[in-house]
């Protein structure tokens, strides 16, 4: 017997804020969650929680939360409640008018970060837009994972998989541009990652390559680097491996194509070039490479800090090359690719479609669907075929998350129709015509569909809502399906399944259930009586079920899309990126200050800053090295003006040798002026007004925005 939404008692559920997806117990009394407790019976998180899970309780019962549909009645941010019927009726009519006048390609959407944790959200969200004829979608790819996605496309032959380190058995972990003790690890679902990292530290080590001595770097071993310096360190490590014959030739012969071409290229770079640009001594680079090769199970893992730089794609490809060349791929403790619970064991990666389409603005090759983030404003503002006139923003806040926030705001205000699905009035949707309220994750059923493939200790967890949706909030899927129905379309799920909707509205969990039952752990519709279905999960495993003791490392190999099943160390793109590196060679010590990002333990992207628990200790500051501060007569705790070619902000300064000389950092997600009372009070700025929406400032192969390594001038304010 499962407990029903809103019933008194402890509801097993899970947190849907980051990949860790920790098990939670929601204590419900009189229809309200009164406390959030760690779930010690969750098979993998075993009681791990961070402050944000409780913060979500404050969000759920926040007085500033939107609980009725809102219609814009005046200036940005001025709204009045309307009925669902009026809101959806007007949206359907106006959407129909836009499509009639400008065609389906004038309709688009941004679906942001939280959607990565709610069931099939990207799928039906994009299905909805495609059904209306839309051909442009936006999400966080180009500010988060773009370089990793293109590296996967090149190295594995398809963009759909993120490799991850098999951390319970890793002996040496090199982390490039990630801060797991704050982020709780990204692109890998491992709620107790810190325990694993501590154990790795006792084996051969955890080396954190980062321009800041981060929380993670402090606990383990830090290798400072200037923003954008990674590609040089990686070339140096590969040079060492080649010069000192530290590779695994048999492994390479079996699994890698194009190794000799890469080796020739690497040999063409001199140690002088490497050392000058990496700003790290040759001895140290050699030491890191030797340790990597000598370790029984090593992994090079890159995250956000190696995705928004000038040569991030090449850096990610070179990390793969180091893993592959030393035999640290598809092996216990090394880099692996997993299988999702919603595909069969032999499930294949999607094939590459890179460059088959280009963006209208910036002419950037499309990697895996989404359009370059930096182009959103111009896709709205620049007239022409395919110009966006109607936009849905769902689970996102692009005015703060995307580059050139001011321009994005201007673009939003110019739309014919702007519909937001959110539970706050944010910096983005204050320009909307309608805000449609949605539940928080404690008010919805979900299954951990998207990330089950990236868990070293894989599990599946289905949960019902702990409490029913608050106020008039409604699930995103139902909102899309209702609008579609009013316009005479099938619901997005039926559309995605090639049906016309005549059999009635498709249920999200019917598809989920079918995929799970056919999947690697599924009951195969009765053929495997011990296997899983949604019903089995619901009845037997309310705390989730660990499906394998460890992710099978062999899954890695059938996720390679090249027909020969081998990875590539050399492609046309690798060749042209090296040529570009030769030409552009980022000058790292030209006296300029470079700005990079930082995440706060007490903070979540552009939101959750209205929760006391979360923001209590959060203080957005510009971190600056003492030498750089002295040269500019800037005082600790004082205010400074930070200016880029694109814009300027006014910030509080924190002088610290935590950052490498020549760089400064500032967290993103601040500068609030939505309808949130506490968040608006925080003394912070939107750092992304410094980032540029000019394609010249994106990585050309991905269209990734340069959010790290922005050249800035800092002066006393
Ligand atoms: N300078 C700089 N910029 C960055 C980054 C950086 O490191 N530096 N990081 C980038 C990264 S990695 C990412 S992922 C993006 C994130 O940027 P976005 O994709 O914009 O996501 P969030 O900032 O998390 O905003 C989430 C929004 O969704 C709403 N929301 C929360 N839960 C739900 C839900 O269940 N349903 C609905 N409908 N709405 C919900 C919240 O109220 C909030 O308005 O920011 C990027 N921007
Ligand atoms: N508490 C908290 N947790 C979060 C989030 C949050 O906002 N708050 N956001 C979630 C999201 S959306 C994501 S995508 C993940 C991100 O997860 P992570 O990538 O682990 O988190 P970040 O703190 O962004 O780490 C990026 C690191 O890259 C470094 N860096 C910047 N530029 C460079 C460079 O050029 N080279 C190198 N080597 N390093 C560089 C930064 O100093 C920073 O330490 O975190 C998730 N978890
Ligand atoms: S680490 Fe924190 S934010 Fe991430 S899932 Fe666990 S409780 Fe939620
Ligand atoms: Mo992200």
Does 179 share its domain with 281?
yes
Q: In this structure, is residue 348 part of a structural domain?
A: no
Does 305 share its domain with 208?
yes
Q: Is the CB of 228 under 6 A from ligand 2?
A: yes
Q: In this structure, is residue 358 part of a structural domain?
A: no
**Distance from the alpha carbon of residue 138 to the mean position of ligand 1, in angstroms:** 12
What is the per-residue pLDDT for 616?
83
Which residues touch 73 (CB under 8 Å, ≥6 apart)? 79, 80
The candidate with the shortest Cα–Cα distance to 710, out of 695, 677, 686, 688, is 688
User: What is the number of the ligand 3 atom nearest to the C-alpha of 20?
Assistant: 5
Q: In this structure, is residue 635 part of a structural domain?
A: yes
Q: How confident is the model at residue 676 (pLDDT cuts 50, 70, 90)?
A: very high
CATH of the domain at 690: 2.40.40.20
Does 152 share its domain with 264?
yes
587 burial class (0-12, 13-18, 19+ CB within 10 angstroms)?
A: exposed
Probe residue for ligand 2, chosen from 300, 305, 314, 705 as the CB with the greatest number of ligand atoms within 8 Å:
305
Distances (CA, A) of 536 to 107, 461, 462: 40, 11, 10
Strands (DSSP E) along 551-709, which ranges?
Answer: 567-568, 593-598, 622-624, 639-643, 648-655, 663-667, 698-699, 704-705
Q: Which ligand is nearest to the CA of 18?
A: 3
**Distance from the alpha carbon of residue 247 to the mean position of ligand 1, in angstroms:** 41
Probe residue for ligand 3, chosen from 23, 52, 604 as the CB with the greatest number of ligand atoms within 8 Å:
52
- Where is the domain boundary, 446, 479, 506? 506
pLDDT of residue 342 exceeding 80: yes
Alpha-carbon distance of 167 to 180, in angstroms, equals 12
Q: Is the CB of 398 under 6 A from ligand 1?
A: yes
The binding-site residues of ligand 3, defined as CB within 6 angstroms of any ligand atom, are 15, 17-18, 20-22, 49-50, 52-53, 184, 191
Does 174 share its domain with 322?
yes
Task: Give tens-digit pLDDT for 178-202.
Answer: 999 999 999 999 999 999 999 999 9
Tell me which residue has tokens 């070619």: 645
The candidate with the shortest Cα–Cα distance to 340, out of 482, 594, 103, 519, is 519
Does 616 share its domain with 685?
yes
Alpha-carbon distance of 688 to 599, in angstroms, equals 14
**Distance from the alpha carbon of residue 547 to the mean position of ligand 2, in angstroms:** 29
Q: Is the CB of 687 under 6 A from ligand 1?
A: yes
Q: Is the CB of 394 under 6 A from ligand 1?
A: yes
Paired residues of 659 in beta bridges: 212
Alpha-carbon distance of 87 to 97, in angstroms, equals 15
Does 169 share its domain with 77?
no
Does 126 share its domain with 154?
no
User: What is the number of the ligand 2 atom nearest to the C-alpha of 113?
Assistant: 12
CATH of the domain at 388: 3.40.50.740
Which residues touch 516 (CB under 8 Å, ≥6 apart)? 341, 342, 447, 460, 522, 532, 533, 534, 537
Q: In this structure, is residue 661 part of a structural domain?
A: yes
Going by CA atoms, what residue is nearest to atom 2 of ligand 1?
Answer: 668
Sheet holding 32-38, edge to edge: 9-14, 23-29, 32-38
Which residues touch 270 (CB under 8 Å, ≥6 apart)? none
Domain count, the chain: 4
Whether this prediction's pTM lies above 0.85 is answered by yes
- Our measurement of the distance from residue 456's CA atom to the centroid of its chain's CA atoms, rounded to an integer in Å, reads 19
Q: In this structure, is residue 542 part of a structural domain?
A: no
Does 455 share its domain with 599?
no
**Distance from the alpha carbon of residue 411 to the mean position of ligand 2, in angstroms:** 28
The DSSP result for 650-696, as a single string, is EEEEEE-TTBPTTEEEEESS----SS-TTGGGS----GGGSS--SGG
Task: Give tens-digit pLDDT for 99-128.
Answer: 999 999 999 999 999 999 999 999 999 999
Q: In this structure, is residue 398 part of a structural domain?
A: yes
- Our measurement of the distance from residue 69's CA atom to the centroid of its chain's CA atoms, rounded to an integer in Å, reads 28
User: What is the number of the ligand 2 atom nearest to the C-alpha of 217?
Assistant: 44
Does 135 share its domain with 156?
no
32-45 mean pLDDT: 98
Give the helix/strand (H/E) hosting 71: strand 70-72
Q: Is the CB of 48 under 6 A from ligand 1?
A: no
CATH of the domain at 287: 3.40.228.10
Domain that holds residue 91: 70-142+365-506
Alpha-carbon distance of 40 to 49, in angstroms, equals 10
What is the per-residue pLDDT for 2?
81
Q: In this structure, is residue 177 part of a structural domain?
A: yes
Does 136 share its domain with 160?
no
Tell me which residue has tokens 């989730």: 544
Going by CA atoms, what residue is nearest to atom 8 of ligand 3?
Answer: 15
- Where is the domain boundary, 41, 60, 79? 60
Does 282 share its domain with 380?
no
Task: Give tens-digit pLDDT for 534-579.
Answer: 999 999 999 999 999 999 999 999 999 999 999 999 999 999 999 9
Going by CA atoms, what residue is nearest to atom 8 of ligand 2?
Answer: 604
Please provide residue 406's backbone torsions phi and psi, each rounded to the nearest 5 degrees. -65, -40
Alpha-carbon distance of 439 to 56, in angstroms, equals 11
Q: How confident is the model at residue 587 (pLDDT cuts 50, 70, 90)?
A: low
CATH of the domain at 18: 3.30.200.210
User: What is the number of the ligand 3 atom nearest to the C-alpha of 14?
Assistant: 5
Does 205 share its domain with 323?
yes
- Where is the domain boundary, 506, 525, 541? 506
Q: In this structure, is residue 87 part of a structural domain?
A: yes
């Amino acid at each position: 017997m499962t407990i029903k939404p809103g019933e008194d008692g402890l509801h097993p559920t899970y947190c849907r804020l980051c990949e860790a997806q920790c098990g939670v117990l929601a204590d419900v009394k009189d229809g309200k969650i009164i406390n959030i407790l760690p779930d010690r019976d969750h098979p993998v998180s075993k009681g791990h929680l961070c402050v944000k899970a409780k913060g979500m309780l404050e969000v759920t019962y926040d007085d500033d939360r939107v609980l009725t549909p809102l219609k814009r009645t005046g200036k940005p941010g001025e709204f009045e409640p309307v009925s669902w019927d009026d809101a959806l009726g007007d949206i359907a009519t106006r959407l129909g008018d836009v499509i009639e006048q400008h065609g389906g390609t004038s309709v688009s959407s941004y679906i942001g970060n939280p959607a990565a944790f709610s069931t099939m959200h990207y799928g039906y969200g994009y299905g909805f837009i495609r059904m209306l004829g839309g051909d442009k979608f936006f999400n966080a790819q180009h500010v988060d994972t773009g370089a990793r996605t293109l590296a996967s496309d090149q190295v594995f032959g398809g963009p759909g998989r993120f490799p991850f380190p098999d951390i319970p058995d890793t002996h040496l972990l090199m982390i490039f541009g990630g801060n797991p003790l704050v982020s709780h690890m990204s692109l890998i679902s491992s709620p107790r990652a810190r325990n694993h990292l501590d154990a790795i530290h006792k084996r051969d080590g955890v080396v954190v390559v980062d321009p800041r001595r981060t929380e993670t770097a402090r606990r383990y071993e830090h290798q400072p680097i200037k923003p954008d310096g990674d590609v040089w360190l990686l070339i140096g490590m590969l040079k060492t491996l080649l010069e000192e014959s530290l590779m695994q030739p048999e492994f390479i012969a079996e699994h890698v194509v194009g190794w000799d071409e890469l080796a020739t290229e690497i040999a063409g770079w001199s140690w002088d070039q490497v050392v000058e640009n990496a700003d790290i001594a040759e001895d140290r680079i050699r030491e890191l490479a030797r340790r990597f090769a000598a370790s029984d199970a090593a992994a090079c893992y890159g995250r956000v800090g190696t995705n928004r730089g000038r040569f991030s794609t090449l850096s990610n490809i070179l990390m793969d090359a180091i893993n592959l060349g030393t035999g640290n791929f598809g092996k216990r403790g090394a880099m692996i690719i997993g299988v999702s619970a919603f595909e069969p064991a032999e499930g294949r990666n999607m094939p590459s479609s890179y460059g088959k389409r280009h963006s209208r603005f910036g002419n950037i090759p499309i990697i895996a669907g989404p359009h370059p983030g930096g182009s959103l404003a111009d896709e709205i503002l620049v007239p022409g075929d395919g110009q966006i006139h109607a936009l849905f923003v769902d689970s996102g806040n692009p005015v703060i998350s995307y580059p050139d926030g001011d321009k994005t705001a201007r673009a939003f205000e110019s739309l014919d129709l702007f519909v937001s699905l959110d539970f706050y009035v944010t910096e983005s949707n204050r320009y909307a015509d309608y805000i449609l309220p949605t539940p928080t994750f404690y008010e919805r059923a979900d299954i951990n569909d998207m990330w089950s493939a990236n868990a070293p200790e894989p599990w599946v967890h289905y949960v019902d809502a702990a409490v029913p949706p608050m106020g008039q909030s409604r699930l995103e899927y139902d909102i899309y399906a209702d609008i579609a129905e009013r316009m005479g379309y099938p619901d997005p799920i039926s559309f995605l399944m090639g049906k016309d909707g005549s059999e009635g509205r498709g249920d999200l969990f019917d598809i989920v259930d079918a995929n799970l039952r056919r999947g690697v752990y599924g009951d195969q519709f009765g053929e495997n009586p011990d296997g899983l279905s949604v019903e089995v999960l619901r009845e037997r495993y309310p705390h989730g079920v660990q499906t394998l003791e460890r992710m099978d490392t062999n899954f890695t190999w059938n996720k390679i899309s090249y027909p020969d099943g081998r990875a590539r160390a050399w492609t046309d793109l690798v060749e042209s990126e090296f040529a570009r590196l030769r030409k552009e060679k980022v000058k790292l010590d030209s006296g300029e200050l470079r700005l990079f990002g930082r995440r706060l333990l007490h903070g979540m992207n552009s939101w959750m800053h209205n929760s006391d628990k979360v923001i209590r200790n959060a203080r957005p500051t510009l971190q600056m090295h003492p030498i750089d501060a002295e040269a500019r007569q800037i005082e600790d705790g004082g205010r400074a003006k930070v200016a880029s070619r694109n814009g300027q902000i006014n910030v509080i300064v924190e002088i610290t040798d935590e950052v490498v000389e020549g760089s400064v950092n500032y967290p993103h997600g601040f500068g609030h002026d939505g309808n949130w009372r506490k968040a608006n009070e925080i003394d912070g700025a939107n750092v992304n007004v410094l980032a540029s929406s000019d394609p010249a400032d994106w990585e050309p192969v991905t269209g990734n925005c340069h959010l790290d390594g922005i050249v800035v001038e800092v002066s006393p304010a």
